[in-house]
Amino acid sequence: MQSTTAHSDIIAVKDPSAYITKDRQTLRGKRVGPILHLADERARLAQLTWNHFDIKRLGATIGAEISGVDLTTNLPQPVIDDIRQALHEYKVIFFRNQPVTTQQHVDFAARFGELEIHPFIPSNTGQPELVRFEKSFDVKGYENTWHQDVTWRECPSLGAVLHAIHVPESGGDTLFCDMYAAYEGLTDEQREFVDSHDAEHDFVQSFGKQVAPDQMDAMRAKYPVVVHPLAPTHAATGRKYLYCNPVFLSRIIGVDEAESDRWLTELWRESDNVEYQCRFHWEPDSIAFWDNRACQHYASSDYWPEIRIMERASIVGGRPTR
């Protein structure tokens, strides 16, 4: 039996949490306490097995590092099918030590669908399907905000494959957030709102400065403001996810501007729950492959003035629907 030593300063006989009767409480506008709805998904993922590779899970419900596959080779279709399924299950998957060429990068991503051409981010020389993020002393990182990519498209990305070309020894991590968990963790009032409202998405908010005035009408015609649900249903899994990022989302339809801004702020904060997240530390030739519907991502901008170079191939998706 473990002995205890009495002390006059100690009055407690239980852990402080034993006195709390509510699972979630509000503290200065933020909900705190155990996030119990993750338990079933965490347990389900723990039971999964794979035929063609090994995995190591990162977060409670999101993220897995895959080993035992070589992305520099032409993988057999059953392996590709298993990778696709792993993407659906873990929302984002990671690979280490994959020195792919630009062509191999494009070829691997194309196994999962048609690839996007991004009009506002320069491509790698000779590979228009690749966009290059090259940060340095002069070019700083501004991707340190929770978002899903290109939601201003009528058909946003299904997913993206990001390859680390040059990374700092420390810093420059990327974080990912499970947007199924974010949706399922909403209050009843919040869930009723997102289930019944749509929002406008617009490229101008982030990329408008790159468009010359005499080109704006043509770009507007090509990429008009689009409307997507705040809580679409994933085409492959049938699960609802939260689809809200003020990087590209301009306003919620059906409410006035003040209420739209209030809801945007409130819903965007759901990604701040660390229990919904995983964090990936990059090494040279690491690769991340994320489901652009099921998760948001955040590129930590803590490495200036060091160099960070990444290349991304994105896969065309379908239009988000309820």
**pLDDT, tens digit, 9 for 90 and up, residues 47-76:** 999 999 999 999 999 999 999 999 999 999
Return the structure tokens found at 31: 């909900």
**Cβ proximity of 288 and 280 under 8 Å:** yes
List, by residue number, the catalytic residues: 147, 149, 297, 312
Per-residue confidence (pLDDT) for residue 22, from 0 to 100: 63
Q: Give 34-316's CATH code, choosing from 3.40.50.300, 3.60.130.10, 3.90.1150.10, 1.10.10.10.
A: 3.60.130.10
Rounded to two decimals, the pTM is 0.93
- Residue 26 above 80 pLDDT? no
- Residue 223 above 80 pLDDT? yes
Give Cβ neighbours of residue 185 (< 8 Å, ≥ 6 apart): 35, 37, 270, 273, 276
Percentage of the chain exceeding pLDDT 90: 76
Confidence of residue 122 (pLDDT cuts 50, 70, 90): confident
Return the structure tokens found at 166: 């040059």
Per-residue confidence (pLDDT) for residue 1, from 0 to 100: 47
Q: Largest Cα–Cα distance of the chain, in whole Å? A: 81
Give the orientation angle of helix 188-195 with respect to helix 257-268, to 10 degrees. 120
Per-residue confidence (pLDDT) for residue 18, from 0 to 100: 63
